[in-house]
Amino acid sequence: MQLSTIVLLIITLIILGEVSYLLARLPRNTLKTKGRALLVDTSVLMDGRITAVAKTGFIGDTLVIPRSVVGELQFLADHADSDKRAR
């Protein structure tokens, strides 16, 4: 390899690194919320105390429940109904 090719490759890698760093630092506006968004897990929802904590205003952030969590809770609820029907 020639020296000019190596220098060009190094400069290209530096530019790619800088661009990826800048893209990672861009704000993501996927959620239209003020402040931070906290993801709520299945165990937190099943515990049930999160509603009381959220109503007090102790958590100032937006609570987000992913679709996978809703699906898991729905599966658990449907599964429990089928067990009750079998009895």
**Average pLDDT for residues 15-43, to the nearest whole number?**
75
> What domain range includes position 29?
3-86
User: pLDDT, tens digit, for every residue of 59-81?
Assistant: 888 888 888 888 888 888 888 76
Does the model's pTM come out above 0.75? no
Residues in the chain: 87
> For the chain, what is the mean pLDDT?
80
Q: What is the total count of domains within the chain? A: 1
Burial label for 86, CB within 10 Å (0-12, 13-18, 19+), is: exposed
